Amino acid sequence: MDELVALCKRRGFIFQSNEIYGGLQGSYDYGPLGVELKNNIKSAWWSSMVYENDNIEGLDASILTNPLVLKHSGHESTFSDPMVDCKKCQARWRADQLPDNKCLSCGSTDLTEPRPFNLMFKTNVGPVESEDSFAYLRPETAQQIFTNFKNVVDSSAKSLPFGIAQIGKAFRNEITPRNFIFRVREFEQMELEYFVMPGEDEECHDSWVEKRLDWWEKQGLSRSKVKLYEVPDDELAHYSKRTVDLMYEFPHGLEELEGIANRTDFDLGSHTKNQKDLDLVAKVMENKSSNSKLAIQDLKTNKWVVPFVIEPSAGVDRGVLAILNEAYNIEALDGGKERTVLSLKPHLSPIKAAVIPLKKNNQEIVNLSSKIKNKLQKLNVGRILLENTGNIGKGYRRHDEIGTPVCITVDFESLEDASVTVRDRDTMKQERVAISDLENFLIRKIS
Ligand code: GAP
């Protein structure tokens, strides 16, 4: 983990948030390469969900959430972790994360009884601070999918089974954020709520577990490092009938990467049942436009049903950590040397190709390099970088370390024969490629 954290900082993937003021615990910032990697992961997920399935629609809902939503979803009453205080040094811990019930700071066993600590962040909405002018920062993206259920059904004429996908920030006031970006207070989730006929839920659940395993493998995770964890009944979230967690061997241990839950009709049912609260609010606001049932008509029977929900919910930040961990390698080279290489799947690489002029002061070579960069950039396959440092060896080392699949060197010969030297990150083999063939070459390499 330490090596990964150092690489992330050195090369501009991930920084401690608010570092110049001493940091803000449980928050991280994604730097120039981190934002590319993260966007590529999110875009691979979005393609696999929304673009490859005509019965899945996308959504981007608000983070600020009406407290009624989280009251009726059960989060106000149950979304908490057990917290204890050390009576000796006053440190606070999550009770279920203390081995042998000992304080992790001073080792004392003199701890308070565990008490529930609600993880939701509250914020004030509007200029007047009062008891009822607050909103929550959403603790999961899922609730806004449920509250938009009717909007999506009505506007996109869906019938069962169908899904709504969303990627976005979620916030949890974790008692002990830790392990770099694994457990943080502000993170991103990629969540799908897949609505099915009651009775078809169990089979559908199993098939999503398989699909999700497959997807993570395509992002570069070894199948042998991902384990399935059948969450026991006493650990299930309040809404879940069954949850299967995909556990990954992170540098700090085997931990949850994604949860795939059968949420039954709990959420849609609960938001429907509690319309009386909404009516009350509507009256107060003198706005009668109350919602209606979060249900859908079964086309075969014409009956209204509240569908069951299968929910694959993955953390983007945990995905970044797992993918970086898997890709990070130190390879032995001839002559006792070694190189650090990030063997990312090319579709995830922050930079798809680096164009390196052999001589940084030779205007003809630099101009040709720049033309090649612009031509490849137009392919719209991700970032192509003109790397004009004049040091080919350094350039190769840097791009190995950040996972760039190919480096393209423009030399004196290129000016004569309109070809360039292309070096492959993984094999380190070099070959001569005609400039006119470069677009096809790159597309083949990174797809
Ligand atoms: N909507 C269901 C839900 O939120 P969850 O298991 O609490 O379920 C889903 O969270 C995923 O979100 C987790 O598998 C994990 O990848 C990510 N996640 C949850 N809490 C996190 C945290 N504090 N920091 C980073 N990622 C987190």
Query: All domains of the chain, ordered by start, with CATH?
Result: 2-65+72-77+138-323 (3.30.930.10), 349-446 (3.40.50.800)
Q: Is 318 in the pocket of ligand 1 (CB under 6 A)?
A: yes
Q: Does the beta carbon of 187 sit less than 6 angstroms from any atom of ligand 1?
A: yes
Q: 230-247 in b/e burial notation, b at 16+ Cβ within 10 A? A: ebeeeeebebbbbbbbbb
Task: Report whether residue 313 contacts ligand 1, using a CB cutoff of 6 Å.
Answer: yes
- Distance CA(123)–CA(26), nearest Å, equals 18
Distance 417 CA to ligand 1 centre (A): 54
How far away, in angstroms, is 189 Cα from ligand 1 center?
A: 7
The side-by-side arrangement of strands in the sheet containing 64-65 is: 64-65, 134-137, 122-124
CB distance 194 to 310 below 8 Å: yes
Both tokens assigned to 9: 């900082």
Tokens of 111: 């701890």
Q: Is 259 in the pocket of ligand 1 (CB under 6 A)?
A: yes
Cα(166) to centroid of ligand 1, in Å? 14
3-state secondary structure of 227: strand
Q: What are phi and psi of 189, to 5 degrees?
A: -120, 150
- pLDDT in single tens digits along all 447 residues of the chain: 899 999 999 999 999 999 999 999 999 999 999 999 999 999 999 999 999 999 999 999 999 999 999 999 999 998 888 889 999 998 888 888 887 889 888 989 999 988 888 899 999 998 888 777 899 999 999 999 999 998 999 899 889 999 999 999 999 999 889 899 999 999 999 999 999 999 999 999 999 999 999 999 999 999 999 999 999 999 999 999 999 999 999 999 999 999 999 999 999 988 887 655 555 444 444 433 334 578 888 888 878 888 999 999 999 999 999 999 999 999 998 888 999 999 999 999 999 999 999 998 899 999 999 999 999 999 999 999 999 988 899 999 999 999 999 999 999 999 999 999 999 999 999 999 999 999 999 999 988
Distance CA 352, CA 376 (A): 10
Q: Which two tokens stand for residue 255?
A: 């931990």
**Alpha-carbon distances of 133 from 18, 72, 130, 147, 243, rounded to whole Å:** 29, 18, 5, 20, 35
Query: Does residue 321 line the site of ligand 1, with CB under 6 A?
Result: no
Token duo for residue 171? 């916030």
In 3D, which of 406, 435, 424, 325 has the Cα closest to residue 13?
325
| Range 390-394 contact pairs with CB under 8 angstroms and sequence separation of 24 or more | 390/357, 390/359, 390/360, 390/361, 392/356, 392/358
- Closest alpha carbon to 250 in 321, 161, 192, 302: 321
Query: Taking the CA of residue 33 as centre, how many other CA atoms within 13 Å lie in the half-sphere pointing to its CB?
Result: 25
| Cα–ligand 1 centroid distance for 167 (angstroms) | 12
Q: How many CA atoms lie within 13 A of 418 on its CB side?
A: 5
Closest Cα to atom 12 of ligand 1: 315
Residue 189's nearest CA partner among 132, 239, 261 is: 261
Q: Whose CA is nearest to atom 22 of ligand 1?
A: 183
Residue 283, exposed/middle/buried by CB under 10 A (0-12, 13-18, 19+)?
A: exposed
